[in-house]
Chain A
Amino acid sequence: MKRLPIAAALLVLTALLCATSRLLSEQGTAQLFRSLVTAEDALQQQDHAAAVEAVTVLCRDCESVCRRLAVFVPHEKLDAIEAAAAQLLFLTKQNAAHPGEALARCRYRVQHLRQSERLLFTTVF
């Protein structure tokens, strides 16, 4: 019966890891959404310099959030977010017309990450 406390400890540890993953993901995606909104506003105002700066901040945020989540989240999900942000930055720097599609892709990837942690049951089943 000595093993039962080990089992309980393992389950608690697992629950803690899941909670940490959920917390980091929630914080990270909230930060990314804030950066996304700022970038979106800057892009809509047609101010190229401000847009480039906002999207650069978004890219940096993506990188730091992905680094924090790398232990918990499959790498391809994080790579997709970083790639979408990088493409948005590239298009913004090129001064392309409002890069709505790239922005939408970026938003979708972040949303996807948040949902996969949040919607426990729909994601499980």
Chain B
Amino acid sequence: MSIVAIRTAITYAVLVAAMRIMGKRQLGDLNPSELVVTLLIADTAATAVTDTGTPLLGGLIPIAVLVSLELLLSGAMLKFPFLERLMGGRAVWLITDGKLDRKAMKKLRLTVDDVLGTLRQQGVFDLQDVLYAVVETGGQISVLLQPHARPLTPDDLQLTPPEDDTPFLVVNDGKPVPLGLTLSAHTPQWLHRTLREQNCTLKDVFILTADRSGHVHLVRKEKTE
């Protein structure tokens, strides 16, 4: 039993490293080759963990090879666009000006119900409201609405909204966050001064956020502001 536990821990560490090396693409929408690699890695890892008759290397080597091939392939796809088309296919235009392309639907083996269902999930209930709908290489459908059906934007009303001043996390659970300080254009001296003004120390702070204009929001650990 302890053998399985140790093998699991090692495989877990290797898998986490593999996912980190492969990057964020593996965590979001996958194209066909990425999906295949992810499934294969999952299956190989399961075997490496449970099949104690096979050396652990026998499970880790396939993972290393799959990760390498995936990285090399994605690098090659950046350099040679035809490879990307070959491995991931192309985006397919499904609806143009409210009209369904039946040829494209047949090619993608999509029924009208599938398309309408996906549109409804995106908040579109009338086909006529769609200017373009495109099936992306990852299988999602992107929709551009007709001008009359699009939500109003400040541009439509010729308004100039004030710029957003995003608050950044400056102290997290009693510890200063250097990146937050930099992004909010403040210095550690400013932080100490602000804390003094608020009559508290770093240790008392649960969360402190600040924006570039100097607005501060403080949450103390004792749940009292």
Contacts and interface: CB of A to CB of B under 8 A. Distances in A.
> Is the A/B pair a real complex?
yes
A7 B53 contact: no
Chain B interface mostly? helix
A74 B53 contact: yes
28 contacts: A1-B75, A3-B23, A3-B71, A3-B75, A4-B71, A7-B69, A7-B72, A8-B72, A10-B67, A10-B68, A11-B65, A11-B68, A11-B72, A13-B64, A14-B61, A14-B64, A14-B65, A14-B68, A17-B61, A71-B55, A72-B57, A72-B58, A73-B55, A74-B55, A74-B58, A75-B53, A75-B55, A76-B53
Interface string A1-25: 1011011101101100110000000
B61 A7 contact: no
A71 B71 contact: no
Contacts of B53: 74-76
Chain A interface mostly? helix
Nearest to B79: A1
Interface of A: 1, 3-4, 6-8, 10-11, 13-14, 17-18, 70-76
B71 A6 contact: yes
Size range of the interface on B? 20 to 34
B54 interface: yes
Nearest to A74: B54
Contacts of A1: 75, 78
Interface of B: 21-23, 52-58, 61, 64-65, 67-69, 71-72, 74-75, 78
Contacts of A8: 68, 72
Given A1-B75, A14-B61, A17-B61, A7 B55 contact: no
Given A10-B65, A10-B68, A14-B64, 6 more contacts: A4-B71, A8-B68, A11-B64, A71-B55, A71-B57, A75-B52
A22 to B, nearest CB: 13
